[in-house]
Amino acid sequence: MISTIRNALHMASQDIAIITNNIANAGSTGFKRSDSHFLDSYAEDPPIRGRNVGFGALAEEPRRQDNKQGALKVTNAALDVAVSGVGMFITTSEVEGDVTFTRDGSFLLDIAGNVTTTDGRGVIGIDGQPLAIPPEHVNARGESGLIETIDINERGQIQVTYGNGSIIDRGAIALADFPNIGGLRTIGGGHFKATEKSGPPFVALPMEGNFGKLFSGHLEA
């Protein structure tokens, strides 16, 4: 009985934590709310790999995500990019060496010209490498020019115009999708990791197959 009560309290606190996280991040770009889901469990049940087993109930892991399309809001910022339809941006961290997935397309250029998320993670291109846009370009005549405009089209292709008149292609943004996107594990900050339940990602350009298209100068609410 004590174990059952303790487990019920644990589940309630887990539920409150999820609700609190949803409220705190409701206004974050591309945020996908989580829902807790509990299954009946009994003392004689055998342990189930990948789940927290207790007496009376168990919590399914990973938590279910609400993956509905958010409204697109206009920002007119060149590196703000929203996905309309299927697909998540792929990001990586040099420090941690991990790969995560997000719908938050509020990208920045760091001092070295790397395209990053607002928390400093590199954004992966279709070639599997972090995207970079050098802030300066020297043309064949030896004329130097700084970035004037950055254009990202619906297929994620990046074209940069420099002050010396050069127009340079700087790669394309990759998108990922999963056999079971609801199986992704949230790690905070709008980022997710793949799990056995989600299956491995398959990667493509926007508008390839079932993938959605990109809107530059927009963010997903």
Each residue of 66-76: pLDDT tens digit?
668 999 999 99
Collapsing DSSP to helix, strand or coil, 183 comes out as helix
- All residues at 6 or more sequence positions from 15 whose CB lies less than 8 Å from its CB, including other chains: 36
What is the band of 18 on the pLDDT scale with cuts at 50, 70, 90?
very low
Residue 36 has pLDDT above 60, yes or no: no
Q: How far apart (Å, rounded) are the C-alpha atoms in residues 123 and 125?
A: 7
Among 38, 39, 59, 42, which Cα is nearest to 50's?
A: 59
CB 173 within 8 Å of CB 156: yes
Q: What is the pLDDT of residue 7?
A: 53
Residue 213 pairs with which residues in a beta bridge?
84
Q: How far apart (Å, rounded) are the C-alpha atoms in residues 206 and 83?
A: 8
Residue ranges in the chain assigned as alpha helix (H): 2-24
Q: How far apart (Å, rounded) are the C-alpha atoms in residues 214 and 154?
A: 4
